[in-house]
Amino acid sequence: MSNSSRRFYLVPYLAWIVLFVVAPIVLVAYYSFFDVEGHFTLGNYAKFFTPVYMRMTLSSFWYAFLITAISLLAAYPAAYLLTRTKHKQLWLLLIILPSWINLLLKAYAFIGLFGTYGLTNSLLEAIGIGKQQILFTDFSFVFVSVYIFIPFMILPIFNALEEMNPTLVYAARDLGASAWTTFRRVIFPLTVSGVKSGCMAVFIPALSLFMITRLIAGNRVITLGTAIEQHFLVTQDWGMGATIAVFLILAMAAMMLLTGNRKRGAVNARKK
């Protein structure tokens, strides 16, 4: 293939990137320098560093971290067991199936399940624990978010586990490593790329969750996503909304750099 035709094939891809990735980011950055009345200002950035938004940022990160950590804890063993089952594809399908249902429908279903007179509370009452407030608590928020994100965590880990050469595990066992050591020294390091992409696929959307905060947490949990939604749709303070978005983009870029570097190193090492 000649150089010029290669460049020609690049055009649609470049056009796509410029139109739908670069341009929107530039626009977001541009809007962040204007106040409600359309005057140029740096005030939005100053406002972001006030306690209100700082607290919001911290709590967004905290909840996103919690959601990611719990998803990982649940997803790793699940993915591992999946690779050991007979009808792998069927089980995998069953796990992915819920993600075909619209997010809002699932959220509404949980309102019914977690309500004061819902199934969960009837169950709790039947076994003698008694009614609890489940809906509109931190617990329900994290639980539902984990439920929604978990397929995105299981899939990459499952793929990494599938790609791993099982003879390496046998070798480790033959050489006298305990099950735990085998996991810690062989299986986990070999699947860490899957864990990383799973964490990214969960952490980043979790950082900007917004519908769930209202439907399941009753606005008791306010994330940056909620604030962006409010500023664009209610306040029409696009500047402030864009400023928060800029910080989210920066945070995500930082995350990618942090987790991406080592992977590149690993690839290079393999080439050698």
Partner 1 sequence: MKQLVRMFAIVFAVSLGLIYLTAYLNDSEGYSGDKTLTIYNWGDYVDPELLERFEQETGIKVIYQTFDSNEAMMTKIEQGGTTFDVSVPSEYAISKMKEEGLLLKLDHDKLPNLKHIDPKFMNLSFDPDNAYSIPYFWGTVGIVYNPELVGDLTFTSWNDLWDDQLRNQILLLDGAREVMGMGLNALTYSLNDTDEAHLQEAKAKLKLLTPNVKAIVGDEIKLLLANEEAAVGLVWSGDASEIMGENDKLDYIVPEEGSNLWFDNMVIPKTAKNIEGAHQFINFMLDPEVAAQNTEYVGYSTPNQSAMSLLPEDISGDERFYPNEELTGRLEVYDNLGKKMLAHYNELFLEFKMHKK
Should residue 178 be labelled a site residue for partner 1 when binding is judged by CB under 8 A?
no
CB of residue 148 to partner 1, shortest distance in Å: 18
Per CB under 8 A, which region of 160-168, 200-208, 230-238, 251-259 contacts partner 1?
230-238
Residue 137: phi and psi, rounded to 5, are -125, 165
Cβ(226)–Cβ(219) below 8 Å: yes
Residues 94-123 that bind partner 1 (CB under 8 A): 108, 111, 115-117
Should residue 127 be labelled a site residue for partner 1 when binding is judged by CB under 8 A?
no
CB of residue 126 to partner 1, shortest distance in Å: 19
Interacting residues of 245 by C-beta distance below 8 A, sequence separation 6+:
28, 32, 228
Should residue 232 be labelled a site residue for partner 1 when binding is judged by CB under 8 A?
yes
Binds partner 1 by CB under 8 A, chosen from 85, 178, 181, 236: 236
Nearer to partner 1, 44 or 191 (CB): 44
Should residue 219 be labelled a site residue for partner 1 when binding is judged by CB under 8 A?
yes
> In angstroms, what CA-CA distances link 245 with 113, 193, 224?
33, 28, 8
Should residue 55 be labelled a site residue for partner 1 when binding is judged by CB under 8 A?
yes
Binds partner 1 by CB under 8 A, chosen from 175, 233, 267, 269: 233
Should residue 61 be labelled a site residue for partner 1 when binding is judged by CB under 8 A?
no
Should residue 45 be labelled a site residue for partner 1 when binding is judged by CB under 8 A?
no
Contact code string over 20-39 relative to partner 1, x by CB under 8 A: ----------------xx--
Q: Burial, 215: exposed, middle or buried (Cβ in 10 Å; 0-12, 13-18, 19+)?
A: buried
CB of residue 189 to partner 1, shortest distance in Å: 35
Binds partner 1 by CB under 8 A, chosen from 72, 199, 215, 248: 215
Residues that bind partner 1 (CB under 8 A): 36-37, 52, 55-56, 108, 111, 115-117, 133, 135-136, 214-215, 217-220, 222, 227, 230-237, 240
